[in-house]
Amino acid sequence: MKKIIIEGNKELSGTIKIGGAKNSVVALIPACILADGELKIKNVPNISDKDALIEILNLLNVKVIEEEGTLLINTQKTENKVINEKLSNKLRASYYFMGALLGKFKKAEVYFPGGCNIGSRPIDLHLKGFEALGAKITKEDCKYIIETKELKGTEIYLDFASVGATINILFAAVKAKGRTIINNAAREVEIENIAKFLNRMGAKIKGAGTERIVIDGVKELHSAAVSVIPDRIEAGTYIIMGALLGKNLIVDGINPNHLKVVLNKLKEMGINLKINKNQVIINKANKLKAVNVRTSVYPGFPTDLGQPMSVLLTQAEGISQFEETIFENRMGHVPNLQKMGAKIEYERQHATFHGPTKLKSAELIATDLRSGAALVTAGLIAEGETIINDADHILRGYERIITKLSDVGAKIKIIEV
Ligand code: EPZ
């Protein structure tokens, strides 16, 4: 495992370039097997989730050439294989191969997906979608076998606007016979990125980014290219760090429209941001107003920024209320922040912050990707040396985080233990 060590309270000044969105690329990569041909994905972030998915493509005899942020993927000789537990447990997004293999071969055999331990994270909505399209699902210990003679378009109603289920059903429906409608679909911007890629392959998808997506099945999908949209969660994380330590910190290469609710919340706290076309310039705020934060589906406050945002709430003057509404176990950062001196009362997914409290350095444990990002944020403002164990979680979704932060003045390093 890796360990991150931070010498806190260093001003952050300069430019941080944001990479492609993890939550797009983890779906764009499996999507490639739906087409027969040469697929190109540009602006690919250098994160371990991407490497894990390429391993799965290699298992399926898909040729992948990786050139400086671009993936060239040749799917002409794709073979349908069982995706074993070792590979699928590396990340939850391995479940996208269920929809992609089902859509391509009408059969998928995939072990239980891995990913962050932020709750049970069932996949019942994905499976219900596959069944609605005509697939039969059997479970053999930890493996799902999903197959059908024919995928037939139908009207689907998602009980919850699940990002994963929306995308997985898209994959299964693009080559189904007839029309599929997904009602109560997730509206995250990453879904538009994926639908654009599929449409460039020849799919017929309308309404991506809204709660009603209409897919007309086609026979074949062909070569196409797509660019991964900027990572709004990576961007939001660095913007929050800038609110705490920035001196004209430029967070560049982003689409501010994807972060409207977050930028608005920061303004509510009294933070002065300069929002340009593809960047935000941010300065440390002298005084932070207490606010209430409640995560929700897009376009609400993203659950993935709830944890880094919590660090900001420890520095706000007064009482801030925080409510996580998407996952049932996403407060792993709170005991760590309390250990650093933060005054937080919490029960299940609700926390009350009393601020401002000076955070002191400590030895911490990252429980998942975004709690890890919160601990880095806390370590950056704490006096002294903070150690974050199990730092591998963080590398799953933040490309070159050590370099990006060091280049703007942070004293941060990562060591193998
Ligand atoms: C995606 O997870 C993202 N992951 C998550 O980012 C993100 O937090 C989440 O969407 C919400 O925006 C990827 O894109 C790889 P959901 P996903 O399906 O698809 C329940 C990060 O840190 N649910 O919208 O798993 C589920 O338990 C990660 O980058 C069911 O009950 O999210 C959860 O409580 C974390 N049954 C809620 O819905 C299902 O079949 C949200 O899940 C599916 C989901």
CA gap 52, 362 in Å, rounded: 32
Alpha helices, DSSP H only, in 91-248?
Answer: 96-105, 124-132, 163-173, 189-200, 232-245
**pLDDT of res. 140:** 84
C-alpha torsion 263→265→267→271, nearest 10:
-90
Both 142 and 275 in one domain: the answer is no
pLDDT tier, 27 (very low <50, low <70, confident <90, very high otherwise) = very high
**406 lies in the same domain as 274:** yes
> What is the per-residue DSSP string for 97-114?
HHHHHHHHHSEEEEE---
Place of tokens 């371990």: 48
With a 6 Å cutoff on the Cβ, whether 109 touches ligand 1 is no
DSSP 121: -
**Ligand 1 neighbour 52 (Cβ under 6 A):** no
Is the Cβ–Cβ distance between 21 and 232 less than 8 Å?
yes
Question: Which atom in ligand 1 lies closest to the alpha carbon of residue 161?
Answer: 24
- Is 309:293 a contact under the CB 8 Å cutoff? yes
**Average of pLDDT values for 398-406?**
97
- Number of domains into which the chain is organized: 2
Percent of the chain with pLDDT over 70: 98
How many Å lie between the centroid of ligand 1 and the Cα of residue 161? 9
Q: Which residue has the tokens 């764009």?
A: 28
Domain of residue 346, residue span: 2-19+230-416
Q: Which residue, by CA, sits nearest to atom 39 of ligand 1?
A: 123
Residue of the CA atom closest to atom 44 of ligand 1:
162
Q: Are residues 71 and 32 in the same domain?
A: yes
Given pLDDT bands bounded at 50, 70 and 90, which one contains residue 358?
A: very high
Shared-domain flag, residues 72 and 143: yes
**Same domain for 150 and 239?**
no
**Domain limit, last residue, from 227, 258, 273:** 227
| Shared-domain flag, residues 209 and 278 | no
Tell whether ligand 1 has an atom less than 6 A from the beta carbon of residue 23: yes
- 243/301 same-domain check: yes
pLDDT at 90: 87
Residue 145 and residue 191: Cα distance in Å, rounded?
25
Whether residue 401 is predicted with pLDDT greater than 90 in this model: the reply is yes
Taking the CA of residue 370 as reference, the ligand 1 atom at the shortest distance is: 22
Distance 76 CA to ligand 1 centre (A): 31
- Regarding whether 297 and 164 lie in a shared domain, the answer is no
Backbone angles phi, psi at 400, to 5 degrees: 50, 40
> Does 26 lie in the same domain as 14?
no
Contacts of 67 (CB under 8 A, 6+ apart): none
Please confirm, yes or no, whether 116 is among the known catalytic residues.
yes
Of 210, 227, 244, which closes a domain? Answer: 227
What's the confidence (pLDDT) of residue 182? Answer: 98
For residue 202, pLDDT over 60 is answered with: yes
Helix (H) or strand (E) holding 353: strand 350-355
Comparing CA positions, the residue from 287, 282, 334 lying closest to residue 309 is 334
pLDDT bracket for residue 389 (50, 70, 90): very high
Q: What's the whole-number mean pLDDT along residues 274-292?
A: 97
- State the catalytic residue, choosing from 87, 116, 224, 388: 116
Local structure of residue 233 (DSSP, 8 states): H
Among 227, 261, 290, where does a domain finish? 227
Q: Using a 6 Å cutoff on CB, does residue 194 contact ligand 1?
A: no
Give me the chain's average pLDDT, please. 96
Q: What is the pLDDT of residues 83-131, one digit of tens each?
A: 998 999 888 899 999 999 999 999 999 987 655 556 666 899 999 999 9
* Distant-in-sequence, close-in-space partners of 122: CB < 8 Å, separation ≥ 6: none
Query: Are residues 357 and 254 both part of a single domain?
Result: yes
Same domain, 99 and 238: no
**pLDDT tens figures, 366-387:** 999 999 999 999 999 999 999 9
DSSP 11-44: -EEEEEE--B-HHHHHHHHHHGGGSSSEEEEES-
Cα 328 to ligand 1 centre (Å):
11
User: Which of the listed residues 24, 162, 398 should we mutate to test ligand 1's pocket, taking the one with most ligand atoms within 8 A of CB?
Assistant: 162
Average pLDDT over residues 261-266: 98
| Atom from ligand 1 closest to the CA of residue 116 | 35
- Any atom of ligand 1 within 6 Å of the Cβ of 326: yes
**How many angstroms does the Cα of residue 324 sit away from the middle of ligand 1?**
13
* Per-residue pLDDT, 117: 59
273 bridge partner residues: 282
- Judged by average pLDDT, the poorest of 15-19, 136-140, 374-378, 385-389 is 136-140
DSSP state of 228: P
For the residues 301-323, what does the mean pLDDT come to?
98
**Residue 139 CB: number of other CB atoms within 10 A?**
11
- Name the 3-class secondary structure at 127: helix
Packed helices 369-381 and 232-245: angle between N→C axes, nearest 10 degrees: 20
CB 232 near ligand 1, within 6 Å? no
If asked whether residues 248 and 383 sit together in one domain, one would say yes
